[in-house]
Amino acid sequence: MESSYFNNIVNSEYSRKNDGRIEYGTAGFRTKSDILEHVLYRMGLLAVLRSKAKKAAIGLMITASHNLEPDNGIKLVDSAGEMLEVSWEMIATNLANVLDSDLTSMLAHISTKENIDLSIPATVIIGRDTRKSSPILLKAVLAGIKALNGNVTDLGLVTTPQLHYVVVCTNTDGAYGNPTLQGYYSKLAAVFKSIRGTEINNGKYISRLQLDAANGVGAIAVREFQRYLKDVLDIKLFNDGSGDLNYMCGADYVKVQQTLPLNIPSEKSVRCVSIDGDADRVVYFYIDGNNKFHLLDGDRIATLVAAYFKELLETSGLSLQLGLVQTAYANGGSTDYISNVLKVPVACVPTGVKHLHKKALEFDIGVYFEANGHGTVIFKDTAKDAIKNHAKNEILSTTQRVASSKLKDVTDLINETVGDALSDMLLVETILHTKGWDVIEWERSYNDLPNRQLKVRVKDRNIITTTNAERHCLTPVCLQEEIDKIVSKYSRGRSFVRPSGTEDIIRVYAECESSSDVNRLAVEVASLVY
């Protein structure tokens, strides 16, 4: 069957028109949209094979997340809603780069090597962001899926986490929720409302926030939440899609530039939220009475969430192992706080959600966040059962019972499949509401060390290789020694360099005690890699 099955697969409309190599990186394929059509066609083909291999529905998201409008990209979502299995990343890269003349034989090779039963039906669930190039790329994907007779569920304009959610719900026969957008909104909104009860405000917490949607697809989802939550949470929407995507706005801009996004009114002490172009990252910020900008990033969200879970576990008397996973970009202030004050085990892994997710699976309850605001909480099945059963335990005291059922409700508010800006936001809002905290109280738990990120353009970023969760350079030889020398001059100094997986640059990170020195530290280290 195999050789004939892949006949007529080469489609002249989607022939490979350039020689440049493209790689399936931490965020799938991502580059200028005008050189992506053949890649998207081929990913349509691959998604059908992956679906047959897993005997389940597979997701495809067309997005370039926080990148500017001219870029686009595609990532595959595996059957349990997680990122594509690592061994298939290489298969995807090979398929994207093969000559048209070898496409048929490579598909046959993949299906033999992966032992794929081609008679099994395939389903591919597709989502896309609001980029102007997305419809053309969608057409290419659809052509690929159709060429191998796959079935398609096209969700249209959705956030990346919504696509992950629908894939999981589809493959678990609805046990995780209804596999529709309506299922997504109603599940999260219902839990959010039921936890909040009738008390809309509490203590210093006021149920109002300003949200910068990066002019991306998240704005559509926010409008839906405005409808679902209109009586309990007042969300003022900015950068709602009428301006340029991710241009001087969105979570990445706010995190890296540490400044207000365009269009957000600088109202003193008002909680503000920025999400990115596909709504899988979220950061908070506010302006104080002196017009100073304060950022509450992924590290802050992680510590708030971990502290809350720790409190609920202790109060309910439930013994589950809680752990937190970060990357080298986590602020040293947050890591000290987690280890020394919260006393929650903390692990550091290389950049990229797949690494964080994998490590978090080792804990009963694993909280993971990148400093840029991409993260979530995941639970072992046994932990979820324990939480459910504990809430029903009759010998619990009232305090234990209340904590126990809160723990259960909060679990339902989390999109475990992937970092989800809006589900994370609802979780933060829930915790702040419960504690009666405004954003200033939240910030009080620890001090961030002043920090700076720089991008350096080099000829070949891959000359830099790293180890120890990217915190030390292996090559070029002696580079680490030079970095160490510079860092040792700064009190509480820390700095590292690594090649980006999504842009053709080297990233430089620096932090130290003094805000007036941190720029100098970053520039000194950056000058070593020019």
Query: What residues act catalytically?
Result: 65
Q: Which is nearer to ligand NG1, 153 or 500 (CB)?
A: 500
Q: Is 246 an interacting residue with respect to ligand NG1 (CB under 6 A)?
A: no
500, 513, 514, 517: residue in contact with ligand NG1 (rule CB under 6 A): 500
For helices 86-97 and 37-54, give the axis angle rounded to 10 degrees: 140
| Residues 431, 162, 75: CA angle, nearest 5 degrees | 120
Q: Which is nearer to ligand NG1, 44 or 375 (CB)?
A: 375
In the complex, residue closest to Zn ion by CB: 65
Q: Which is nearer to ligand NG1, 169 or 245 (CB)?
A: 245
Q: Is 67 an interacting residue with respect to ligand NG1 (CB under 6 A)?
A: no
- Residue 274 and residue 267: Cα distance in Å, rounded? 15
Sorted by sequence, the CB contacts under 8 Å of residue 374 that are 6+ apart come out as: 280, 281, 298, 353, 419
Q: Which pairing describes strands 293-296 and 346-348: parallel, antiparallel, or unpaired?
A: unpaired
- Report phi then psi at 318, rounded to 5: -95, 130
Q: Which is nearer to ligand NG1, 329 or 363 (CB)?
A: 329
Q: Is 129 an interacting residue with respect to Zn ion (CB under 5 A)?
A: no
Q: Which is nearer to Zn ion, 127 or 450 (CB)?
A: 127
Q: Is 416 an interacting residue with respect to Zn ion (CB under 5 A)?
A: no
Contacted by 243, from ligand NG1, Zn ion, none: CB < 5 to 8 Å by type: none
23, 311, 503, 517: residue in contact with ligand NG1 (rule CB under 6 A): 503
Helix, strand, coil percentages (3-state) for the chain, rounded to 5, are 40, 20, 40
3-state secondary structure 215-243: CCCHHHHHHHHHHHCCCCCEEEEECCCCC
**Cβ 372 to Zn ion shortest distance, Å:** 9
Sorted by sequence, the CB contacts under 8 Å of residue 235 that are 6+ apart come out as: 209, 211, 222, 225, 226, 229
Contacted by 437, from ligand NG1, Zn ion, none: CB < 5 to 8 Å by type: none
78, 89, 212, 280: residue in contact with Zn ion (rule CB under 5 A): 280
Neighbours of 524 (CB within 10 A): 20
Q: Is 278 an interacting residue with respect to ligand NG1 (CB under 6 A)?
A: no
Contacted by 151, from Zn ion, ligand NG1, none: CB < 5 to 8 Å by type: none
Q: Is 424 an interacting residue with respect to ligand NG1 (CB under 6 A)?
A: no
The answer to whether 185 touches 224, Cβ cutoff 8 Å, is yes
Contacted by 280, from ligand NG1, Zn ion, none: CB < 5 to 8 Å by type: Zn ion
**Cβ 209 to ligand NG1 shortest distance, Å:** 23
**Cβ 503 to Zn ion shortest distance, Å:** 14
Neighbours of 189 (CB within 10 A): 19
The continuous run of DSSP H or E covering 76 comes out as strand 71-77
**Cβ 86 to ligand NG1 shortest distance, Å:** 15
Q: Which is nearer to Zn ion, 252 or 448 (CB)?
A: 252
User: What is the length of the chain?
Assistant: 530
Contacted by 501, from Zn ion, ligand NG1, none: CB < 5 to 8 Å by type: ligand NG1
Q: Which is nearer to Zn ion, 274 or 495 (CB)?
A: 274
Half-sphere exposure of 388 (CA within 13 A, CB side): 8
The residue range among 174-182, 370-378, 443-451, 468-476 that interacts with ligand NG1, by the rule CB under 6 A, is 370-378
329, 363, 369, 490: residue in contact with ligand NG1 (rule CB under 6 A): 329
Token pair in block for residue 194: 């039921």
Q: Is 445 an interacting residue with respect to ligand NG1 (CB under 6 A)?
A: no
Alpha helix (H) residue ranges in 123-217? 134-147, 160-171, 181-196
Q: Is 316 an interacting residue with respect to ligand NG1 (CB under 6 A)?
A: no
Alpha-carbon 216 to chain mean position: 15
User: DSSP secondary-structure letter at 197?
Assistant: T
Residues paired with 348 in a beta bridge:
326
Q: Is 116 an interacting residue with respect to ligand NG1 (CB under 6 A)?
A: no
User: DSSP secondary-structure letter at 127?
Assistant: E
- Residue 11 and residue 474: Cα distance in Å, rounded? 44
Site for Zn ion in 53-82 (CB under 5 A): 65
Site for Zn ion in 258-277 (CB under 5 A): 276
Site for ligand NG1 in 13-42 (CB under 6 A): 26-27
Site residues (vs ligand NG1, CB under 6 A): 26-27, 65, 329, 351-352, 370, 372, 374, 500-503, 507
Site residues (vs Zn ion, CB under 5 A): 65, 276, 278, 280
